[in-house]
Structure 1
Amino acid sequence: MRSLAAAITDSPTASQSLHRFVNASPWEWEPVRGQLRRWVEERTRPKAWTIGVAVVPKRGDQSCGVHRRFVPALGRTINCQVGIGQFLATSRGPIPVDWRLHLPGEWSEEKLRRRTRIPEAVHPVPAWAQVLDLADTMAADASPPLPLVVDLREYTEPDRLLLGLRQRARDFVVAVPDSLAVQLPGAVRPSGPAADRSASPISARRFLETEGELLRSVLGTSHLRPSGLTRVVTGLVRLPRGPQPQRFYRLFAEVPREGDQPTALWLTTLVHLSLEELLELASLPATIPRALRRLEGSFGLQDFEGRSYPGWHRHVTLVSAACGFQELSEVDPAGLPGTVPPARLIRAPRRPAQLPA
């Protein structure tokens, strides 16, 4: 806050005013995010959206949503907040447009909720439910329907998220566990002792090994994937449970070279797309870690100094808006260079803190 305030004024109280603007002022963040999403969509025509999980280390236990969590990237358990971000996949890279703060079960305690100003309508829910909430918010905002591209293997109860997307008739390209139950495309539901054995579900990995078609696909140049040749195994399947039981889905995976680890299995509703297009979409989650590092290093994602639920949401909203502005301010809605100059980072010389005598 002090660095931001010092960039525009010498006032010794400016940083405190800026802190109050983020943490205590009453402005609503949802309309700002809706406008940000529409602004990004107009300038980039994104093809999909994906999810980024931001882990924010915390020293104490007073910040909203803070809890103990094992972080694989650090190899240890830390105190942290966890933010679930919605990113639009654009030609400029992923841009954040919406967020949810993950609240573990202990944050249902009334004392904690009052202290951090958690709204009555907000309750601890699993991460998969928050992803569905992000999808619902996008639909309610009248945004163009975009497929969700995400690795479900990173979630507990991935079948719950998959079922929620199917119930909402949302398109998706998702990495699924090897054990996901699928049915052959010609299978029918069992209706008695004489039912066709082909109706029995098998695992997704087993399906590709025994029924998948091996293809050699030529990939064009892409900002997400290098050009070259790759082998792909694929096939159409049905899902045995849930809504629309007769719908076809495409299951596919790259075939690893000898000695390599098995690759992820991807399931999609977009059966009309080419494998080249599907593989490019499937590469989107790999772009998120770098985007999160940039939000942390260049835009202060981890630098919120308050402890409240509203303050956290206003902070990540401003971080997202700053990122989107710097990436896209020179692009007009037609996708052509505009007249607005690109955003510049203003750096002020460091000043000693002006403390009262």
Structure 2
Amino acid sequence: MRSMAAAITDSPTASQSLHRFVNASPWEWQPVRDELRRWVAARTRPKAWTVGIAVVPKRGDQSCGVHRRFVPDLGRTINCQVGMGQFLATGRSQVPVDWRLHLPSEWSEDRLRRRTRIPEAVQPLPAWAQMLDLADALAADGSPALPLVADLRDCAEPDRLLHGLRHRGHDFALTVPGTLPVLPSVTAHPCGSGMDPAVSPVSARRFLETEGELLRSVIGTSHLHPSRPTRVVTGLIRLPRGPQPQRFYRLFAEVPREGERPTTAWLTTLVHLSMEELLELASLPGTTPRALRRLEGSFGFQDFEGRSYPGWHRHVTLVSAACCYQELSDIDPTGLAGTVSAAPLLRAPRQAAGLRV
């Protein structure tokens, strides 16, 4: 706040006013994000939306949603906030347009909720339910229907997210655990009365190894690497439980070398797409960490000094708007006609490595 204020005025109270605008003023952030999402979609051709998990280290325990969490990238357990971001994947870039703040179960306590001004309607939710909430927000504002592309291998209860997305009519291409139970597509009861009870589910990994079709020399195209030939094993499956009538999904994975086991398994509703198109979608989550690092390094995502739930949401909304504007300026400055030209990014002096308050 101090760096931003100093860039535009000599007033000694400007930084305090900016801080109050974020932390204490009453403006609603969700309508701003809905408009931001429409604004980006109108100026780009997003192919999908992805999910980014942002971990914000915290030294104390006063900030909304702060909890102890093991962070694999750091190799240790820290105090932190965790935000789940919705990114629109537009060609070679991803831009943030919506957020959810993860609230652990202990944040159901009235004392903590009053102190950090958590709205009564907001309750702790598991990650899969927050992803559904982001998907519903995307559909509710009239944005183009886009598939969710994300990695669910570390997500608890991934089958609940899969059924929730399909029940709502949201398409997806998701990395799933190799242990996910699936049924071959030919297991329907011959009388049309549903699934054959004599057929037992198998794991996604076993299905690909024993019943998948091996496709050779598929051209895989990603946003980080040029086109390259690859082997893919794939097949149509159903899920053991879910809405009736049962529906088909495509399960697929790359096979590194002849005779080796398939790698990461993907599950998608987009059975009509070519394997080349599916591999391109599957590459999108690989660019999400880079988008998160840009938010942290260039736009101050981790630098919010307030502790309230509304303040956090307003902060990440403004950070997202700044990032989207800069990203679109880099892609096509002529597409921002009628707006002020993009100024150089304002960067506060970097703090020494360590946890932020």
TM-score by length of 1: 0.91
Aligned twin of 1:257: 257
Shift of 1:187: 0.8
Residue of structure 2 equivalent to 1:354: none
2:271 aligned partner = 271
Which residue does 1:139 correspond to in 2?
Answer: 139
- 5+ residue gaps, structure 2, are 350-357
Q: Counterpart in 1 of 2:352?
A: none
Q: Please, which moves more after superposition, 14-23 or 214-223?
A: 214-223
With over 3 angstroms needed to count, the CA separation of the structure-2 counterparts of 1:48 and 1:234, relative to structure 1, is same
- Give deviations 1:158-186, integer Å, cap 9, x for gaps: 11111211211211101111111111211
Secondary structure at the aligned position of 1:153 is classed as: coil
Quote the Cα distance in structure 1 between the aligned partners of 2:75 and 2:331.
41
Shift of 1:236: 0.9
**Residue 343, structure 1, aligned to residue 342, structure 2:** yes
| Contact 2:98-2:134 within 8 A present in 1 as well | yes
Structure 2 contact 255–261 (Cα < 8 Å) conserved: no
Q: Do structure 1's residue 113 and structure 2's residue 113 form an aligned pair?
A: yes
Query: What percent of counterpart residues are identical?
Result: 76
- Whether contact under 8 Å (1:330, 1:338) holds in the other structure is no
In structure 1, the partner of 2:233 is 233
Residue matched to 1:24: 24
**Hey, what's the Cα distance between the residues in 2 that align with 1:337 and 1:161?**
36
Q: 2:354 corresponds to which residue?
A: none
Q: Report the residue type matching 2:285 in the other structure.
A: P
Shift of 1:119: 0.2
- Corresponding residue number in structure 2 for 1:51: 51
Q: 5+ unaligned residues in a row in structure 1: which ranges?
A: 351-357
Deviations 1:63-117 (A, max 9, x none): 0000000101001110000000000110241100000000001101101100000
Listed as ranges, the matches of 1:3-22 within 5 Å are: 3-22=3-22
Per the normalisation by structure 2, the TM-score is 0.91
- Shift of the 286–347 alpha-carbon distance from structure 1 to 2, 3 Å rule, reads closer
Cα distance per residue 1:189-210 (max 9 Å; x no partner): 599xxx9687322111111111
User: What is aligned with 2:294?
Assistant: 294
> Could you tell me how far apart the structure 2 residues matched to 1:170 and 1:62 are?
37
* Number of residues of Structure 1 aligned to a counterpart in Structure 2: 345
Whole-Å separation in 1 of the counterparts to 2:252 and 2:347: 52
Alignment of 1:55-94 (within 5 A): 55-94=55-94
Correspondence for 2:162: 162
For residues 168-179 of structure 1, the aligned pairs below 5 Å read 168-179=168-179
Letter in 1 for 2:217: S
**RMSD between superposed Cα atoms in Å:** 2.3
Q: Per-residue CA shift, 1:15-50, capped at 9, x if unaligned?
A: 100000000000110110001000110111211101
| Structure 2 counterpart of 1:353 | none
Farther off after superposition, 101-110 or 235-244: 235-244
Distance 2:236 2:198 in 1: 14
1:281 equivalent in alignment to 2:281:
yes
